[in-house]
Amino acid sequence: MSAEEIIRLDMGKMDGDTAADAAATLCLGIESSCDETSAAIVDSNRNILSHIIYSQIPEHQKYGGVVPELAARAHILAIDEVVRQTLERAGKTMGDIDVVAATAGPGLIGGVLVGWMAATGIAQATGKPLVAVNHLEGHALVPRLCATSASGAAGGSHVEFPYLLMLASGGHCQILLVRGVGKYELIGQTLDDSAGEAFDKVAKMLGLGYPGGPVVDTRARDGNPTAFKFPRPLCDKPGCDFSFSGIKTAARTFLDRNPAPHTDEFINDFCASFQASVVDCIINRLTNAMCDTRGAAAAPRTLVVAGGVAKNSAIRAAMEELASRHGMIFAAPPMNLCTDNGAMIAWAGIENHRCGNIVREPVAPRPRWPLTEL
């Protein structure tokens, strides 16, 4: 991994950043739970001083998905340079940093270990406090660092507790009531695949490569969402749980009967119809969740989407429309903070440090770590 390669992936500062307040707490955050090696320096005044995301996607693309052993090795090769350049780009040394934070799970354990051991070593060598961040909490709290509307416009604001969260990534699909740092109430979750997995698998069936979400999203913009009939699993049932495996099986069955080659029009229509079924399921389940939480003691007034799937234009637009119908505010992270990134881990580090949640005895990284166990 050359320095030049990593510089190309530098995210730089966020639009609208101001100079960091000298009194602010500075956190170095490290993320390595899947196929991004990322680090960021974020301060408690919500400034992102530097942010580097080294994506391994090109290394996994030829296998059609993330290969855990290759990911772990790539993290080892990248981590030192990513951290070094993150400090350099912010014009900081470790002496300026107040807190070190890293993902300690859930995720691919080889990768989690690399980032966690790096952070532990840095914290021990410099005597800085260390925060063990739950990756899902990173996604869940990042809209409090920076939030935008569905189109990505009107940035610069942030979300206040409590909020109703649709957390949709490659590995998870949950509806949560977020009451505070470490305070998560599970309202609903998938019974089988995650939404991201459904996007990735359908894209693979169509030969569209990995990751599938972005390409399906783009293709769907030129397609007809009513061209193919996909099921809407569980939508005729009460509750807030999801099931996406039936949608995936419907795609498989249809493509077996109508094998490649496919025209661009067919692929666009197929993507649009599949995506419409995922959107309908999300909106149906969220509608129930809104009804369930409306009477709660501190009812949420903001509807939030986070995780890699939060980049999806149709999901953002439909959720914004749903929120406005129910008199709620809609918020989402800016696009570059939806998929895995170090800034969300640094921000979760700031929020946990503020609550006194620092590591006091050795922490073992965890491949599984539900938010409700925080």
Place of tokens 């986070």: 306
Q: Candidates 80-88, 108-116, 202-210, 333-341 — which segment interacts with Zn ion by CB under 5 A?
A: 333-341
Listed in sequence order, the DSSP H helices in the chain are: 3-8, 57-61, 68-90, 109-126, 135-141, 195-205, 212-221, 245-257, 264-294, 313-325, 342-354
Residue 199 touching ligand KG4 (CB under 6 A): yes
Vertex 83 angle, CA 338 and 55, to 5°: 40
Length of the chain: 374
* Least gap, CB of 55 to Zn ion (angstroms): 13
Vertex 247 angle, CA 245 and 248, to 5°: 65
Q: Candidates 3-11, 55-63, 71-79, 209-217 — which segment interacts with ligand KG4 by CB under 6 A?
A: 209-217
Pick 39 or 309: Cβ nearer ligand KG4: 309
Tokens of 322: 């749903």
Residue 213 touching ligand KG4 (CB under 6 A): yes
As a whole number of angstroms, the distance between CA 164 and CA 22 comes to: 34
Contact string (CB under 6 A) for ligand KG4, positions 337-356, x = contact: --xx----------------
**DSSP secondary structure, 316-358, as one string:** HHHHHHHHHHTT-EEEB--GGGTSS-HHHHHHHHHHHHHTT--
Chosen residue from 293, 312, 352, 357 binding ligand KG4 by CB under 6 A: 312
As a whole number of angstroms, the distance between CA 307 and CA 332 comes to: 10
Contact string (CB under 5 A) for Zn ion, positions 144-183, x = contact: -------------------------x--------------
Q: E strands along 275-321, which residues?
A: 302-306
By CB under 5 A, the residues from 337 to 366 that bind Zn ion are 340
Coil, strand, or helix at residue 166? strand
Residue 308 touching ligand KG4 (CB under 6 A): yes
Size of the site for Zn ion (CB under 5 A): 2
By CB under 6 A, the residues from 23 to 82 that bind ligand KG4 are 34
* Least gap, CB of 42 to Zn ion (angstroms): 17
Pick 87 or 281: Cβ nearer ligand KG4: 281
Residue 333 touching ligand KG4 (CB under 6 A): no
Pick 26 or 113: Cβ nearer ligand KG4: 113
Residues that bind ligand KG4 (CB under 6 A): 34, 169-171, 196, 199-200, 211-214, 217, 307-309, 311-312, 339-340
